[in-house]
């Protein structure tokens, strides 16, 4: 699977596997050049929400290129992103409690 098809797959399919609280978020895939290599990044945005995590999609792209099932990869992306958000929010709450 090439990058373009991978990006389309995420753009059209990821919402099915995200928790209900994320259904209104905009899903963006951005590319960044890091150490001379193109890297795919997942960014989710919602008005009024700041500092959402940015997640690399490269390992998931590699899995798709390796022939892994689309649904399994989408589920893992959704679960891993929700976990990142949860960790970030817990960290912010701990800092505010100090």
pLDDT of residue 93: 57
Q: Tens-digit pLDDT profile for the chain (98 aa)?
A: 899 999 999 999 999 999 898 888 899 999 999 899 999 999 998 887 777 889 999 999 999 999 999 999 999 999 999 999 887 766 665 666 66
pLDDT of residue 95: 63
φ and ψ of 70, to 5 deg? -55, -45
Closest CA to 7 of 34, 21, 27, 35: 27
Structural contact between residues 88 and 54, judged by C-beta atoms closer than 8 angstroms: no
């Amino acid at each position: 699977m090439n990058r373009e098809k991978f990006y389309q797959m995420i753009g059209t399919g990821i919402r099915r596997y995200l928790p209900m609280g994320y259904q209104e978020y905009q899903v963006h895939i951005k590319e960044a050049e890091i150490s001379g290599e193109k890297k795919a990044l997942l960014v989710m945005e919602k008005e009024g929400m700041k500092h959402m995590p940015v997640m690399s999609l490269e390992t998931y792209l590699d899995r798709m290129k390796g022939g892994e099932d689309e649904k399994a990869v989408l589920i893992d992306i959704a679960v891993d992103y929700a976990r990142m958000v949860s960790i970030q929010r817990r960290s912010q709450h701990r800092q505010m409690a100090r």
